[in-house]
Amino acid sequence: NAGVTQTPKFQVLKTGQSMTLQCAQDMNHNSMYWYRQDPGMGLRLIYYSASEGTTDKGEVPNGYNVSRLNKREFSLRLESAAPSQTSVYFCASSESVRSYNEQFFGPGTRLTVL
């Protein structure tokens, strides 16, 4: 099993450009998450999907949109990138959103916005 995969691994954008980060999991998990991690900080939740067909805002949703394409895939879109969105983005999945469930993380996407 590949677990949680993310593409791309690295990306450089210019201010105002758009892009979509892709995430897929092969563990048949119901819930998926997008986090961002800034230097020396913990993870902040951008959006999550408790189950296929649902999405909800996390702590820092502004400037992002998401799509739960099917049970396996959850994408994150930056419509008009800003330098403040320079960060490392992690996708994660879990059996459910209940806090006793372990979350499984992808390797991350390093995004730089110039």
Of 22, 30, 45, 72, which lies in the binding site for other proteins, with binding defined by CB under 8 A?
45
3-class DSSP assignment, residue 7: strand
Of 21, 32, 92, 111, which lies in the binding site for other proteins, with binding defined by CB under 8 A?
92
87 belongs to the binding site for other proteins (CB under 8 A) = no
- CA separation (Å) from 114 to 67, 80, 95, 99? 25, 12, 37, 37
Q: From the CB of 58, what's the least distance to other proteins, in Å?
A: 8
Q: Residues 46, 34: contact at Cβ < 8 Å?
A: yes
Of 21, 24, 43, 113, which lies in the binding site for other proteins, with binding defined by CB under 8 A?
43
Residue 8, preceding peptide bond in cis (omega within 30° of 0): yes
Residues that bind other proteins (CB under 8 A): 4, 35, 40-43, 45, 48, 59, 90, 92, 97-100, 102-108
